[in-house]
Amino acid sequence: MTLRKHRRYVHIVSHGPQCLDGVTAAVVVACFHPDCEVKPVFCSNTSVNRTLLELECEPPDAEHEVWITDISWTEPQVDVHLTGLQKRGVDLHWIDHHRTALERFRSGGIHVPFSSTVVDESFAASRLTYEYLRQKRPLPTEPSGLARLVAMADDNDRWLHEIPDSHALALAVNALNSNAAYDELLLLAKTGQWSERLRSAYVLAQQDVSRSIALASRTRAEHRLEEIGVTLVTAVCDGYPSEVAEEWNKDAEQSVFAFFDLRSQTVSFRRSPDCRVDLSQLAKRFGGGGHPAASGCDIPNLLQELAQSLAKVVAPALLERGC
């Protein structure tokens, strides 16, 4: 009599698909589970609660692992749902490096029975995932390009830019902004070579960055907050808020940048190098999170306020005779 071997599934929920760090973390998990069926799902900070609540881990008679990387959730219902999966025998793992996640974890705000948890802001999530799996589940032979891919993701996410092409790779992933980014990075991890699709995405990204900087410059507004000695700079961008901030930081002092990103329809916060405002705490007040120097959130009704402003401008002209 032959015993039927249960199929093993690895479910990955990670930040993306426009984020080099989040997508690379997913690639790392996939590479260390070569004999499993890997199912990556990418989401934003504003959609992570819904994504995790929709995680079912089917079929029930198979073996399942869940890896949550480079992202965290905010709703208690998610803790309940993940705990329910664990009681079914699902193996749960969480790796993150964001300041807001670290604070919730340390304060006892996470109530999920994870098999493993790595929450540490020393390195990017992709590097934390790689170092953990390399120690706990070493491969006989790693994919030839995996270590360098992880190094590039860590270098870019911490804004060190000491490794050539790390920022270019991040731009390419941002331009792809789909599960194709995962496929391309998985190929890069295996071969160590950029594909033609990645190269083309980088060229497109450079054009997109220029357009986003131009849009931000046209919509830029400054508000001096004398009470705290900081200038709040607000603008609309179309993706690439970090690149816009980097351009403006060439002559910025004690500034906080708040971008409404048309691409994600969320708000991104950045700051000038000399500014000590903790942007993770700023985003947290709007239900978001991130790092001290870069964070984001969803502020409801911003688009509605824009529509209302447009109505106030158009209505008087519409009421004039001759229309």
Domain(s) labelled CATH 3.10.310.30 in the chain stretch across 213-305
Distance (Å, whole) CA 217 – CA 318: 30
> Does 3 score more than 50 pLDDT?
no
Distance (Å, whole) CA 79 – CA 233: 37
> Does 237 score more than 70 pLDDT?
yes
Distance (Å, whole) CA 259 – CA 249: 14
Q: Are 261 and 239 in contact (CB under 8 A)?
A: yes
Interval 172-216: pLDDT, tens: 999 998 999 999 999 999 999 999 999 999 999 999 999 999 999
What is the dihedral angle through the alpha carbons of 154, 159, 161, 167, rounded to the nearest 10 degrees? 80
CATH code reported for the domain at 8-194: 3.90.1640
Give me the chain's average pLDDT, please: 95
Greatest Cα pair distance, the chain, in angstroms, is 89
Query: What local confidence, expressed as pLDDT, does residue 108 receive?
Result: 95
- Residue owning tokens 């590097």: 127
Domain(s) labelled CATH 3.90.1640 in the chain stretch across 8-194
Task: Classify 213-305 by CATH class.
Answer: alpha beta
Q: Which residues pair with 69 in a beta bridge?
A: 14, 95
Q: How many CB atoms lie within 10 A of CB 151?
A: 18
Note the pTM of the prediction, 2 decimals.
0.91
DSSP, collapsed to helix, strand or coil, labels residue 136 as helix
